[in-house]
């Protein structure tokens, strides 16, 4: 099996990891509140349970990223982190007490921290021009999981039997179901995941191989030629040998740096640069607004449109389809348009959506049909902008931060996002009846990041030195 086949199967496994994370969210979220009520948990335990998963991922993300930067491997990290997903979901299945349930989400969240290592691996093993498309496909896989997750709930809610001392019902079954899926994924990772060499390493190997073939051809052509020609060739060959010997010595000087990528690393120098601050702010605001809207939508549809479980499920399914199509559209668009242009378009769409919601949803008028139409347009616009911003800022972040510490940098980025997913619901949860304040704050944040993007537009690109190095590699 060649490197390209291994690479494709590895990317397939990464897609499955993200899809399982989406399925887990979709099968656990609908039943966790009632599950906690059965265990006599107070209402605030719902917020704690949902935040616990993000909190542990926020803490462990940079640690897993640092591990991958040091070891230059991700397979062992994924296998290790998946153990936490397996254990956490089994604890959720047991569910003897509210504290065990809370602990189960905390433990499972540790497994989500491996995402930083995965994004670091994707950065090292993809070319800049294809990176945004691959990131879009990977993110779409999670949305597919969110979309198909409710379908699994259709049969999980019918469970009503005993498995040894454990009760399997519609509240505990999501835990054992996800536990089995993560176990199955362990076997797939063991069999079909490889730490394929970085693109630069592959390019170097190909160049060496081509030079060797050229050398062999020259040897064939020079057979039977005169002495002068042979002497000339030997002189060139001698120079090549000296060059190759010196190139073989180069990795020795950089060995200590490779084994310890943080040796000369400065967090302030890396993360307080203008372009990095802009992208981390975009990450925070995008996820803050997204989770705030998710928190606000259900009470809003219940109050204004009398949506029940079926109506909300249908709405979320249609939203999932739109987001998936959006990610694949951005995947296509990223091949033709620069990442920073995609980011700018996404921010304009998000600002437009927020203004629309402020005008038409905060104080709805005009009857049921008009209110429903205004709501649908607002949600459509909000979801339309999401893939543009999400994909472009991740792709740009991978290009403006150092490749050797990409795992740790992606861990910091995901921790910023994790903080946003904790604060977003807390902000929106208390303001479901004060939409002007909630949406006004969201619009202010969007305007701020849009202005920051405009002012830093020229810096939101891959450093010229890296581009020159990569063009010279591809030219060689």
Which residues on neighbouring strands pair with residue 167, listed in sequence order?
162
Burial tier of 114 (Cβ tally within 10 Å: 0-12, 13-18, 19+): buried
Residue (of 36, 169, 5) closest to 102 by Cα position:
36
Same-fold call for 1-197 versus 271-462: yes
Q: Does the pLDDT value for residue 8 go beyond 70?
A: yes
Contact 301, 307 (CB under 8 A): yes
Quote the CA–CA distance of 466 and 323 in Å, as a whole number. 32
Find tokens 């996800």 and name the residue: 178
User: For 45-54, 147-156, 259-268, which range has the lowest pLDDT when averaged over its residues?
Assistant: 259-268
Kindly report the CATH class assigned to 271-462.
mainly alpha
Residue (of 184, 181, 187) closest to 27 by Cα position:
181
DSSP characters over 68-108: HHHH---HHHHHHHHHHHHHHHHHHHH--SHHHHHHHHHHH
pLDDT in tens, 394-445: 999 988 988 888 888 888 998 998 899 888 887 877 777 788 888 899 999 9
Name the packing angle between helices 115-124 and 368-400 (round to 10°).
Answer: 60
Residue 261: the pLDDT is 65
Residue (of 412, 276, 338) closest to 128 by Cα position:
338
What ranges do the domains of the chain cover? 1-197, 271-462
pLDDT in tens, 66-114: 999 888 889 999 999 999 999 999 999 998 889 999 999 999 999 999 9
Residue 310: the pLDDT is 66
Return the top range by mean pLDDT from 21-35, 54-68, 232-246.
Answer: 54-68
Q: Does the pLDDT value for residue 30 go beyond 90?
A: no
End-to-end Cα distance, the chain: 26
pTM for the whole thing?
0.75
User: Which of 359-364's residues contact partners 24+ apart within 8 Å by CB, and which partners?
Assistant: 361/300, 361/435, 361/439, 362/435, 362/436, 362/439, 364/304
Q: Which residues contact 331 (CB under 8 A, 6 or more apart)?
A: 132, 133, 136, 137, 140, 391
**% of the chain at pLDDT higher than 70:** 82
Third-level CATH fold of 1-197: Growth Hormone; Chain: A; (1.20.1250)
Give the confidence band of 453 by pLDDT, cuts at 50, 70, 90.
very high
Residue 262: the pLDDT is 63
Q: In whole numbers, what is the pLDDT of the chain averaged over residues? A: 80
């Amino acid at each position: 099996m060649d490197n390209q086949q291994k690479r494709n199967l590895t990317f397939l496994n990464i897609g499955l990891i993200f899809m399982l994370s989406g399925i887990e969210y979709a099968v656990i979220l609908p039943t966790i509140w009632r599950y906690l009520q059965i265990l006599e948990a107070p209402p605030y335990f719902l917020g704690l349970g949902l935040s616990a998963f993000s909190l542990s991922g926020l803490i462990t993300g940079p640690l897993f990223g640092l591990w991958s930067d040091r070891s230059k491997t991700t397979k062992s990290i994924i296998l290790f982190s998946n153990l936490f997903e397996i254990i956490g979901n089994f604890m959720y299945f047991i569910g003897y007490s509210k504290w065990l349930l809370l602990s189960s989400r905390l433990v499972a969240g540790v497994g989500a921290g491996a995402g930083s290592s995965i994004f670091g691996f994707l950065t090292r093993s993809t070319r800049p021009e294809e990176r945004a498309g691959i990131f879009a496909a990977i993110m779409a896989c999670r949305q597919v999981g969110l979309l198909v997750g409710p379908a699994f709930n259709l049969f999980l809610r019918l469970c009503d039997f005993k498995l040894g001392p454990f009760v399997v019902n519609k509240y505990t079954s999501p835990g054992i179901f996800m536990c089995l899926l993560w176990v199955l994924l362990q076997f797939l990772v063991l069999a079909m995941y490889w730490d394929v060499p970085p693109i630069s390493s592959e390019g170097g190997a190909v160049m060496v191989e081509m030079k060797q073939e050229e050398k062999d051809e020259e040897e064939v052509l020079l057979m039977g030629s005169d002495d002068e020609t042979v002497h000339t060739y030997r002189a060139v060959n001698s120079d090549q040998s000296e060059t190759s010997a010196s190139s073989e010595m180069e990795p020795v000087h950089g060995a200590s740096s490779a084994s310890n990528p943080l040796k000369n690393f400065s967090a302030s120098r890396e993360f307080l640069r203008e372009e990095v601050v802009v992208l981390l702010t975009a990450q925070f605001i995008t996820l803050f607004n997204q989770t705030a809207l998710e928190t606000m939508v259900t009470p809003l549809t219940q109050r204004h449109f009398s949506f029940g479980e079926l109506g909300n499920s249908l709405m979320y399914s249609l939203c999932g389809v739109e987001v998936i199509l959006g990610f694949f559209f951005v995947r296509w668009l990223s091949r033709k348009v620069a990442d920073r242009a995609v980011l700018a378009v996404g921010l304009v769409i998000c600002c437009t959506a927020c203004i629309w919601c402020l005008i038409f949803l905060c104080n709805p008028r005009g009857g049921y049909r008009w209110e429903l139409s205004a709501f649908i347009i607002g949600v459509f616009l909000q979801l339309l902008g999401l893939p543009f911003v999400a994909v472009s800022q991740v792709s740009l972040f991978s290009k403006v931060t150092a490749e050797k510490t990409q795992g740790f940098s992606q861990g910091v980025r995901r921790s910023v996002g994790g903080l946003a997913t904790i604060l977003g619901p807390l902000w929106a949860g208390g303001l479901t009846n004060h939409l002007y304040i909630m949406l006004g704050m969201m619009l202010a944040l969007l305007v701020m990041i849009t202005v920051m993007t405009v002012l830093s537009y020229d810096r939101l690109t891959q450093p010229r030195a890296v581009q020159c190095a990569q063009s010279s590699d591809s030219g060689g």
